[in-house]
Structure 1
Amino acid sequence: MHELSIALAVVETVEEVAREHGAASVEAVQLRVGQLAGVVPDALRFSLEVAAQGTPLAAAELVIEEVPARALCEGCRTEFAVGTPPRLGCPRCPDAATTVVAGRELEIAAVRLPPAAACPALAASTLGSEGGP
């Protein structure tokens, strides 16, 4: 269950953001998880609940945005949904090479701190995803 190691990395990163802005707690964390990231969102949610105990994230709202997988055909330039199970062949010209353009994301999209922390929005922080935007 690698979701626990991902959860621990999220907690560590968000704790650092809270510390940098003098926040004793975190109100919300938004994650973007791609369909092809190899992460089970429910397992990640459970792992984050466990990993956040006793940290500034303990009472934080967790929002997990699931990003559908999309690919682009190099031949005809058609962008299409990959689907489940993943189908990477182009629906218009199945022999053409394709490139995954969405669905491998694994990132912290936003962190909301209490107003007293007066923190600017956190830009997306990638957690070692392969080829995500």
Structure 2
Amino acid sequence: MQGPAAIPVAAITILTIRGPRRPQRCIIRYSFAVGRALGVGAATPTARAGGALHELSIAQEIYRASRAAVAGHGSGRLERVTVAVGELSAVEPDLLVFAWQALTQGGPDAAAALEVEWRPARQFCAACDADRPRSPGSWLRLCPQCGAPLAVSGGDELDVLQVTFLPDEAAGERGGAHG
């Protein structure tokens, strides 16, 4: 009996292309080296930001990319997809999970879980060489210690970290013997 297979971390990346105020579009892309190793091409479907279907369109692209990654290893049923969602990515984790459940409901991957790892943004003072704590949703312009401008780093992630699936042979054994 074969257990779940996991596709390596960073096999699939969702790039955020930023506009002047917030991310404008998300593009799912396989890295060429990993994509070729998985037997899939460099797909670039887009999910435009804005509107009520923002998280649903992102969930659809995560699902398509995950299925393509599984297809690169034969066939099987998704068990778990882990994604990193940054505070500045303009994606609500709860809505993304809800959209995933609605998308996979009634299909072969209905039991597949979407796990979201939250990535907060950091504020850093280069002059003091220190992170400056802040309350969620609040931003400091200047360092309270030295008055230097603070830089923001991280928090813009929207990455598929890992895709775990059950190969068809193991899926058939787990579902019961036929014969």
Judge same fold: TM > 0.5, yes or no.
yes
Structure 1 gap segments, 5+ residues each = 118-133
Matched, 1:48 2:115: no
Question: How high is the sequence identity, in percent, across the aligned residues?
Answer: 36
Stretches of 4+ moved more than 3 A in 1? 53-57
Distance 2:168 2:154 in 1: 36
Q: Find the counterpart in structure 2 of residue 80 from structure 1.
A: 132
> What pairs with 1:1-133 in structure 2 (closer than 5 Å)?
1=52, 2-53=54-105, 56-89=108-141, 90-93=143-146, 95-114=147-166
CA deviations 1:25-75 (Å, max 9, x no partner) are 111111111122111111111111122245553211221111122122232
Count of residue pairs brought into register by the alignment: 116
Distance 2:109 2:100 in 1: 9
Residues 99/28 of structure 1: CA separation in 2 closer, same or farther (3 Å cut): same
Residue 8 of structure 1 aligns to a residue whose secondary structure is helix
Q: In the alignment, residue 92 of structure 1 is paired with which amino acid?
A: Q
Distance 1:56 1:18 in 2: 13
CA deviations 1:14-35 (Å, max 9, x no partner) are 0110111113211111111112
Q: In the alignment, residue 118 of structure 2 is paired with which amino acid?
A: E
Q: In the alignment, residue 45 of structure 1 is paired with which amino acid?
A: V
Residue 71 of structure 1 aligns to a residue whose secondary structure is strand
Alpha-carbon contact 1:8-1:51 (below 8 Å) kept: yes
Residues 101/60 of structure 1: CA separation in 2 closer, same or farther (3 Å cut): same
Structure 2 gap segments, 5+ residues each = 1-51, 170-179
Alpha-carbon contact 1:11-1:57 (below 8 Å) kept: no
**RMSD of aligned C-alpha atoms?**
2.2
Q: Find the counterpart in structure 2 of residue 131 from structure 1.
A: none
Q: Find the counterpart in structure 1 of residue 20 from structure 2.
A: none
Alpha-carbon contact 2:84-2:159 (below 8 Å) kept: yes
> Which structure has more strand as a fraction of its residues?
2
CA drift of 1:116 comes to: 6.5
Q: Find the counterpart in structure 1 of residue 37 from structure 2.
A: none
Residues 78/113 of structure 1: CA separation in 2 closer, same or farther (3 Å cut): same
